[in-house]
């Protein structure tokens, strides 16, 4: 099976297919999770909003997947409490009942019971929530994770099970014989070399770029994707001290807003802005930044302004078009699987949370298209690379799970690698070396955006350490001074879009 696209969807398919014993090749045009899969709200959730929309089957499936993911990747997923602040009299009873339904749907895989909170308890848990008019809150539980670290660990899980995964390898065309697809043309984006590779089935898991591959198959294919941009602002933790996140189900203009603690910062978002054309590096629009800041100010007493924003990042939802839909917020978050007459298997839509179930559906279909013997899916209980029985989130490097020991060994051998990369960032020099050696990081951006999350946590700090990261990478992989200079320039240019002036 050849998979085009190394985001949550493609990587999930690679894990599923490899663990069933099929021979798997995954090709990613840039880095793993370079697209939407590193730019999410970082929630492993059933989706309270979809419950509001009445999509019970989606919520049920997502809640089940949430529970499985906590079991299978406990080093990356954790239980997070959320509080819905209530300013209107009806909100307490309304959301109180809604969250009870949410708890009930989660069944045995529940994360904890929801509760209506008094005004005092709400203020205690959220000391910086706007107190004017506040009546109380409703607390509930969902999951939170590190999206791109999970992507890297999925790539490793697939590789541990015999899959071959290559980043910086773009699918540029589809090969056919007798009108059936039997392989791909690819271009190595680092060396420029081109190759042709045969496979029994090709899977299109290219997210917001789904239409491009559909048109490689049939140049007249109709567009099926309506990309929708969502942005997040990252603030310092003092804007939301304590352990709980805030969830506003309905802002005054009808959107959902989250403020979630993450790696010692607070991630606030998001937006839902239709865009015409997918970009690999989408840029937050001024009006989106203003929207998030305005609402952060409305709900947080610290009144954050542009200068408080440590980073801004944008991602594209690969939403599937629906006839008659007036805006992207109402488009389905369910996934869509299409099998073309030529045998191309396309999977798109969905959520990070449901990547495993999406992959199971794809591999069931793709194995039939490929004429392979049927083998059962085993990912429900499959431990993801790094799995650990008990994880202490206070320990440095805990997000590497079982790999933490090997990184510590690296530090024992070279104590200078135990030093922090930057005083405002929670990362060590050893993580750069580890990323190059074990996690296929090829560029400064791969390291600072997706192996560690420096670019998202504090974009200015990430620019300041770029030369040192280049040096560590060069030493490890044998790159020359020109490579380092070029890399620092490219990273600095890219990071400029994450910094608000
Ligand atoms: C703002 C925002 C917030 C979100 N928050 C959450 C959340 O909190 N929880 C949740 O569960 N879900 C969330 N989602 C949804 C979730 O992030 C996406 O559903 C998921 O990441 C999509 O993964 P994907 O693999 O389909 O797409 P992508 O991650 O975009 O991956 C597609 C990959 O295909 C590659 N590609 C494209 N063309 C080619 C080619 N020709 N050859 C090779 N490779 C190619 C791209 O480079 C890209 O890496 C959010 C989405 C957005 C936009």
Whole-model pTM: value is: 0.97
Q: What is the spatial distance between Cα 149 and Cα 85, in angstroms, rounded to a whole number? A: 31
Please give the distance, rounded to the nearest whole angstrom, from the Cα atom of residue 227 to the centre of ligand 1: 11
Please give the distance, rounded to the nearest whole angstrom, from the Cα atom of residue 301 to the centre of ligand 1: 33
Please give the distance, rounded to the nearest whole angstrom, from the Cα atom of residue 385 to the centre of ligand 1: 20
Q: What is the pLDDT of residue 335?
A: 87
Q: What is the pLDDT of residue 51?
A: 81
Instruction: Provide the residue ranges of all domains of the chain, joining segments of one domain with +.
Output: 2-35+148-224+330-381, 80-143+227-317, 398-498
* DSSP per-residue string spanning 312-336: EEEEEEEEEP-TT--SGGGS--SEE
Q: What is the spatial distance between Cα 304 and Cα 297, in angstroms, rounded to a whole number? A: 6
Contact 61, 47 (CB under 8 A): no
Q: What is the pLDDT of residue 321?
A: 84
Q: What is the pLDDT of residue 49?
A: 80
Could you say which DSSP state residue 277 is in?
S
Mutation pick for ligand 1 pocket among 5, 13, 189, 203 (CB with most ligand atoms within 8 Å): 5
Fold of 398-498: Helicase, Ruva Protein; domain 3 (1.10.8)
Query: 151 — phi, psi (to 5°)?
Result: -60, -45
First-residue to last-residue Cα distance in the chain: 46
Q: Strands 273-274 and 225-236: what pairing?
A: antiparallel
Could you say which DSSP state residue 253 is in?
T
Contacts of 28 (CB under 8 A, 6+ apart): 5, 6, 10, 34, 165, 166, 167, 168, 169
Please list the rounded mean pLDDT of every run of 10 residues in the chain (501 residues). 98 98 98 98 90 85 96 97 95 91 92 96 97 96 98 98 98 97 98 98 98 97 94 98 94 87 97 94 97 96 97 95 59 81 95 97 97 97 96 93 98 98 98 98 98 98 98 97 98 98 88
Please give the distance, rounded to the nearest whole angstrom, from the Cα atom of residue 20 to the centre of ligand 1: 24
Please give the distance, rounded to the nearest whole angstrom, from the Cα atom of residue 7 to the centre of ligand 1: 5
Q: What is the spatial distance between Cα 138 and Cα 117, in angstroms, rounded to a whole number? A: 6
* DSSP per-residue string spanning 403-445: GHHHHHHHHHHSGGGGSBS-TTS--BHHHHHHHHHHS---SHH
Q: What is the pLDDT of residue 322?
A: 66
**How many residues are given for the chain?**
501
* Nearest residue (CA) to ligand 1, atom 37: 206
Q: What is the spatial distance between Cα 67 and Cα 79, in angstroms, rounded to a whole number? A: 10
Could you say which DSSP state residue 450 is in?
I
* Nearest residue (CA) to ligand 1, atom 21: 37
Q: Is the CB of 255 under 6 A from ligand 1?
A: no
Q: What is the pLDDT of residue 251?
A: 84
Tokens found for residue 216 = 């490689």
Q: Is the CB of 12 under 6 A from ligand 1?
A: no
Q: Is the CB of 7 under 6 A from ligand 1?
A: yes
Residues facing residue 246 across a β-bridge: 83, 259
Is-same-fold flag (80-143+227-317; 398-498)?
A: no
Q: What is the pLDDT of residue 461?
A: 98
Q: What is the pLDDT of residue 332?
A: 57
Q: Is the CB of 171 under 6 A from ligand 1?
A: yes
Closest CA to 234 of 312, 299, 334: 312
Q: Which atom of ligand 1 is nearest to the CA of 333?
A: 19
Fold of 80-143+227-317: D-Amino Acid Oxidase; Chain A, domain 2 (3.30.9)
Contact 123, 131 (CB under 8 A): yes
Please give the distance, rounded to the nearest whole angstrom, from the Cα atom of residue 317 to the centre of ligand 1: 7
Query: 465 — phi, psi (to 5°)?
Result: -95, -5
Domain 2-35+148-224+330-381 has CATH 3.50.50.60: yes
Please give the distance, rounded to the nearest whole angstrom, from the Cα atom of residue 135 to the centre of ligand 1: 38
Helix (H, G, I), strand (E, B) or coil at 342: coil
Q: What is the pLDDT of residue 255?
A: 83
Q: Is the CB of 227 under 6 A from ligand 1?
A: no
* Nearest residue (CA) to ligand 1, atom 35: 5
Q: Strands 25-27 and 164-166: what pairing?
A: parallel
């Amino acid at each position: 099976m050849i998979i085009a696209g190394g985001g949550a969807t493609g990587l999930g398919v690679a894990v599923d297919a490899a663990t069933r014993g099929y021979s798997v090749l995954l090709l990613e045009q840039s880095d793993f999770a370079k697209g939407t899969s590193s730019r999410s709200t970082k929630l492993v959730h059933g989706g309270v909003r979809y419950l509001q929309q009445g999509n019970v089957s989606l919520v049920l499936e997502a809640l089940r997947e949430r529970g499985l993911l906590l079991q299978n990747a406990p080093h990356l997923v954790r239980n997070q409490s959320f509080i819905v602040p209530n300013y209107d009299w009806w909100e307490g009873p309304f959301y109180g009942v809604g969250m009870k339904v949410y708890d009930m749907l989660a069944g045995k895989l529940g994360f904890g019971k929801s509760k209506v909170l008094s005004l005092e308890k709400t203020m205690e848990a959220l000391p910086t929530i706007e107190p004017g008019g506040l009546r109380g809150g409703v607390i509930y539980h969902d999951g939170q994770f590190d999206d791109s670290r999970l992507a890297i660990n999925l790539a490793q899980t697939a590789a541990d099970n015999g899959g071959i995964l290559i980043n910086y390898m773009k699918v540029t065309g589809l090969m056919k014989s007798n009108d059936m697809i039997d392989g791909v043309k690819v271009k190595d984006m680092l060396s420029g070399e081109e190759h042709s590779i045969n496979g029994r089935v090709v899977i299109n898991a290219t997210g917001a770029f789904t239409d491009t591959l559909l048109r490689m198959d049939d140049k007249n294919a109709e567009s099926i994707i309506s990309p929708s941009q969502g942005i997040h602002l990252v603030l310092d933790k003092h804007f939301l001290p304590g352990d709980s996140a805030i969830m506003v189900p309905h802002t005054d203009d009808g959107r959902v807003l989250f403020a979630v603690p993450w790696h010692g910062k607070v991630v606030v978002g998001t937006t839902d802005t239709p865009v015409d054309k997918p970009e690999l590096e989408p840029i937050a629009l001024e009006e989106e930044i203003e929207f998030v800041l305005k609402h952060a100010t409305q709900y947080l007493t610290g009144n954050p302004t542009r200068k408080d924003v440590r980073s801004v990042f944008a991602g594209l939802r690969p939403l599937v078009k629906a006839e008659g839909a007036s805006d992207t917020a109402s488009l389905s978050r369910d996934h869509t699987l299409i099998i073309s007459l030529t045998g191309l298997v396309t999977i798109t839509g969905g959520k990070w949370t449901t990547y495993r179930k999406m992959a199971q559906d794809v591999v069931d279909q793709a194995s039939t298209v490929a004429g392979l013997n049927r083998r059962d899916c085993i990912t429900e209980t499959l431990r993801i690379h790094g799995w650990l029985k008990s994880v202490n989130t206070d320990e440095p490097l805990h997000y590497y799970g079982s790999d933490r020991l090997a990184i510590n060994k690296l530090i024992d051998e070279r104590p200078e690698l135990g030093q922090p990369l930057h005083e405002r960032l929670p990362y060590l020099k050893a993580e750069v070396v580890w990323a190059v050696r074990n996690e296929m990081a090829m560029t400064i951006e791969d390291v600072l955006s997706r192996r560690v999350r420096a670019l998202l946590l504090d974009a200015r700090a990430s620019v300041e350490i770029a030369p040192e990261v280049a040096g560590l990478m060069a030493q490890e992989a044998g790159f020359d001074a020109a490579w380092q200079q070029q890399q620092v320039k490219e990273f600095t240019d890219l990071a400029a879009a994450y910094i608000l002036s």
